[in-house]
């Protein structure tokens, strides 16, 4: 018996997912005798397909464990890959599942997979120092006083990771660019009061003539849209988004990306290093260097 690579599968609660099982025989003229699906917390199969005594899988007998399987879970017998299909997964579907295929002559193959049902957080709340819930605005607070806020989540599986955002970030796009193709980049700052001002720089040169800026209704989020067309000279340059607060001179936050600009090869043809143009006459042998700048 062989055990193939362990595979995890994730599904959001309430959504559908299919667990695959490759039932292809290792040798061409072999056939399938049994297909069994197991769940790791049960000792007996939850679904059995018995093709012993019949010519092919069309005549095979199906034996689902109706006490375990509900109408949500069905087995799709297709070739070369069959599926255990879950419709609207629930949290208790989380388990390790194993598909076992017994061939008529070759060895048995087991394929093991872990189904993880992801349950979103039911509620997020922010609490002040006295454990009172904050609905819209925290404060007021005295300048230079200690700020103590708690972020609390209810529910969720696996345990959610909580992060506080008070920063500036280039949010899109973060992929390669193409020469001559106009792009729009978005930079966003949150948590500044009064609202932040955002500046774009390319290798320390301002680009704000090509940008527009918006501020959320509550003033806490500033978004700046930069539109420009990259050139070959932009490849490798650093693009920065800088957030400043008008009330705090000399202080800023910054996010950077390095531009990867794709372009067609640039060719240049030069005389060989030892060749002198003024000495070239008809019949002379001439060597050229072909320089390629890519890509």
Q: Which domains does the chain have, with CATH numbers?
A: 9-118 (2.60.40.10), 123-154 (no CATH), 168-262 (2.60.40.10)
Q: In whole angstroms, what is the distance from residue 98 CA to residue 168 CA? A: 46
Residue 179 token pair: 């020469």
Is residue 98 within 8 A of residue 115, CB to CB? The reply is no
**Quick check: pTM over 0.75?**
no
Burial 62-73 (b: 16+ CB within 10 A, else e): eebeeeebeeeb
Measuring CA to CA, which residue among 195, 131, 127, 196 is closest to residue 162? 127
Give percent above pLDDT 70 in the chain.
88
* Number of Cα atoms under 13 Å in the Cβ half of residue 251: 7
> DSSP letter string over 235-282?
TTPEEEEEEE-TTSTT-EEEEEEE--EE---EEEEEE-TT--GGG--T
pLDDT exceeds 90 at position 155: no
Residue 75 token pair: 């087995």
Average pLDDT over residues 252-272: 79
* Number of Cα atoms under 13 Å in the Cβ half of residue 56: 6
Average pLDDT over residues 240-267: 81
Backbone angles phi, psi at 223, to 5 degrees: -125, 135
Residue 198: CB atoms within 10 Å: 23
Is residue 224 within 8 A of residue 187, CB to CB? The reply is yes
Q: In whole angstroms, what is the distance from residue 35 CA to residue 15 CA? A: 26
3-class DSSP state for residue 58? helix
Is residue 188 within 8 A of residue 222, CB to CB? The reply is yes
Q: In whole angstroms, what is the distance from residue 98 CA to residue 21 CA? A: 9
Of 288 and 39, the one with more pLDDT? 39
Q: In whole angstroms, what is the distance from residue 134 CA to residue 34 CA? A: 59
Strand partners, 3: 110
Q: What is the pLDDT of residue 2?
A: 45
Residue 34 token pair: 């049994």
Measuring CA to CA, which residue among 207, 126, 137 is closest to residue 170? 207
Q: Write the pLDDT tens digit of every residue in 87-144.
A: 889 999 999 999 999 998 888 999 999 999 999 888 878 888 888 888 767 777 777 7
Confidence of residue 54 (pLDDT cuts 50, 70, 90): confident
Q: Write the pLDDT tens digit of every residue in 224-244.
A: 998 888 888 888 899 999 998
pLDDT exceeds 90 at position 35: yes
Q: Write the pLDDT tens digit of every residue in 264-288.
A: 777 777 766 666 666 677 777 777 7
Q: In whole angstroms, what is the distance from residue 180 CA to residue 203 CA? A: 19
Q: In whole angstroms, what is the distance from residue 115 CA to residue 40 CA? A: 11
């Amino acid at each position: 018996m062989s055990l193939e690579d362990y595979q995890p599968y994730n599904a959001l609660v309430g959504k559908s997912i299919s667990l695959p099982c490759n039932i292809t025989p290792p040798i061409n003229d072999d056939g399938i005798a049994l297909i069994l699906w197991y769940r790791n917390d049960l000792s007996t199969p939850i679904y059995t397909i018995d093709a012993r005594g019949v010519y092919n899988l069309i005549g095979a007998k199906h034996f689902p464990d109706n006490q375990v399987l509900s109408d949500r879970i069905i087995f799709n017998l297709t070739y070369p890959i069959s599926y255990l299909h879950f419709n609207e997964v629930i949290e208790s579907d989380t388990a390790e599942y194993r598909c076992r295929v017994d061939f008529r002559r070759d060895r048995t193959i087991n394929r093991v997979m872990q189904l993880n049902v992801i349950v979103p957080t039911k509620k997020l709340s922010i609490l002040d120092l006295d454990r009172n819930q904050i609905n819209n605005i925290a404060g007021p607070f005295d300048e230079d006083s200690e700020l103590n806020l708690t972020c609390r989540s209810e529910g969720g599986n696996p345990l959610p990771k909580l992060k506080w955002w008070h920063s500036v970030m280039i949010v899109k796009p973060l992929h390669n660019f193409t020469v001559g193709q106009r792009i729009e980049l978005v930079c966003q700052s949150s948590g500044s009061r009064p609202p932040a001002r955002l500046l774009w720089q390319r290798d320390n040169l301002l680009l704000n003539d090509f940008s527009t800026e918006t501020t959320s209704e509550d003033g806490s989020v500033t978004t700046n849209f930069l539109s420009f067309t990259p050139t070959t000279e932009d490849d490798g340059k650093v693009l920065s988004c800088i957030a400043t607060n008008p009330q705090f001179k000399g202080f800023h936050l910054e996010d950077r990306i390095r531009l990867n600009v794709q372009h067609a090869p640039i060719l240049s043809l030069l005389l060989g290093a030892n060749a002198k143009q003024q000495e070239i006459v008809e019949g002379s042998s001439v060597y050229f260097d072909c320089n390629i700048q890519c890509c």
